[in-house]
Amino acid sequence: MKVVAFNASPRKEQGVTDRMLKLFIEGMQEAGAEVELIYLTGKKIGYCTGTFACWLQTPGVCIIKDDMADILVKIREADMVVYGTPVYLDGMTAQMKTLMDRSLPLMYPHIEMRDGHTRHPLRGKKRQKMVVVSTCGLPEMDNFDPMITHFKAAAKTLYMNYIGALVRPAGVLLDLVAQSQPEKVESIYSAIKKAGYEVVAEGRMSPQTLKAASQELISQEAFMEQLNTTFRALGIEMQ
Ligand SMILES: Cc1cc2nc3c(=O)[nH]c(=O)nc-3n(C[C@H](O)[C@H](O)[C@H](O)COP(=O)(O)O)c2cc1C
C-alpha cells in the first residue's frame, strides 16, 4: 500500500502532530505500507486564485507553478492520504486548507450524482482512503468536531473513502505528564502506533485504539490550574 502523509503544522518536527505522525507511520510501515511524509511548511504552495483555469483553460493542471504539482501526482498515485494537522481556531491550519483548495485539479468540472448529491467526478482511476491525524491544545474531545466535520465533507467532495480521525487533545501537556505518569503517555504512544498498523492491516482504526490514543491526560480543572500557574510564573498577567 502506498501512503502519502502531510504534516501541516508550522512547527514541523518540533510539534505534537509530527510526533503522532512518526508513530503512526511506524505502525503503517510495520504493516507493510510504503509511506512518504511531506511537510507543507517550507513548501511553495500558493493560495488558489479561483479562476477555475484547472478545469477550463488547462484541464487537470493548475496555472500556479509551484510545489503543488508534485503533491497532486503523489496524491493521485497513493492508496491512502494521511492529513496531519493541529487544530487552529477550531479547524485545520491554513497550510492544510491551502492544500485542500489546491486539490481541485484532481476532479473534472462535470457533474455526477453520488448518493443523491451532485458532485464532481474524479479524474484519476484510484479512490484514496482518507485518514486524519490531529492534536489540539485544550483537553476536550469536542475541540476536534468542526475540523472532523470539514474533513468528512471534503472526503465526499474529493471522492475519497473517509476512514477516521486519530486525535490527541491536550497534546501540549504530553511531556509534562510523562514526568509523573510515564506509563500513561507510553500507552498513548503505543496506541497511536497501533492505529497506524491497524489502518493498513485492517483498513480501519479500532474504537479501542482510538480511545486509548485520546484517553484523558489531565482533568479540565488540573489543566486550567497547570496552564494558569505556568503563565503566572512567566509573569504574564491578565489586566
Ligand atoms: C493560532 C493557533 C490557534 C489554535 N487554536 C486552537 C483551538 O482552537 N483549540 C485548541 O484546542 N487548540 C488550539 N491551538 C493549540 C494547538 O492545537 C496546539 O498547540 C498543537 O499542539 C499545535 O500542534 P503542533 O504541536 O503540531 O504544532 C491553537 C494554536 C495556535 C498557534
Answer yes or no: is 229 within a domain. Answer: no
Atom of ligand 1 nearest to the CA of 89: 8
- Centre of ligand 1 to C-alpha 93, Å, is 9
Question: Residue 151: what residue type?
Answer: F
Answer yes or no: is 181 within a domain. Answer: yes
20: CB partners within 8 A, 6+ apart: 84, 133, 134, 135, 166, 168, 171, 192
The predicted pLDDT at position 25 comes to 99
- Centre of ligand 1 to C-alpha 137, Å, is 5
The pLDDT tens digits along the chain (239 residues) read 999 999 999 999 999 999 999 999 999 999 999 999 999 999 999 999 999 999 999 999 999 999 999 999 999 999 999 999 999 999 999 999 999 999 999 999 999 999 999 999 999 999 999 999 999 999 999 999 999 999 999 999 999 999 999 999 999 999 999 999 999 999 999 999 999 999 999 999 999 999 999 999 999 999 999 999 999 999 999 98
pTM of the model: 0.99
Answer yes or no: is 237 within a domain. Answer: no
Angstrom distances, CA of residue 224 to CA of 15, 44, 200, 230: 21, 38, 38, 10
Of 132, 100, 124, which is closest to residue 199 (Cα–Cα)? 132
The predicted pLDDT at position 239 comes to 87
CB of 6 closer than 8 Å to CB of 38: yes
CB of 1 closer than 8 Å to CB of 200: yes
CA atoms of 185 and 152, how far apart (whole Å): 29
Residue 74's CATH number: 3.40.50.360
Taking the CB of residue 146, how many other CB atoms lie within 10 A of it? Answer: 14
Phi, psi dihedral angles at 167 (to 5 degrees): -125, 150
Atom of ligand 1 nearest to the CA of 91: 8
Domain count, the chain: 1
Q: Whose CA is nearest to atom 25 of ligand 1?
A: 15
Helix, coil or strand: residue 134: strand
Answer yes or no: is 201 within a domain. Answer: yes
Q: Whose CA is nearest to atom 15 of ligand 1?
A: 137
Of 129, 133, 132, which is closest to residue 203 (Cα–Cα)? 129
Atom of ligand 1 nearest to the CA of 90: 8
Answer yes or no: is 152 within a domain. Answer: yes
Answer yes or no: is 234 within a domain. Answer: no
Answer yes or no: is 227 within a domain. Answer: no
CB of 85 closer than 8 Å to CB of 92: yes
Answer yes or no: is 184 within a domain. Answer: yes
* Domain of 62, in residue numbers: 2-214
The predicted pLDDT at position 158 comes to 98
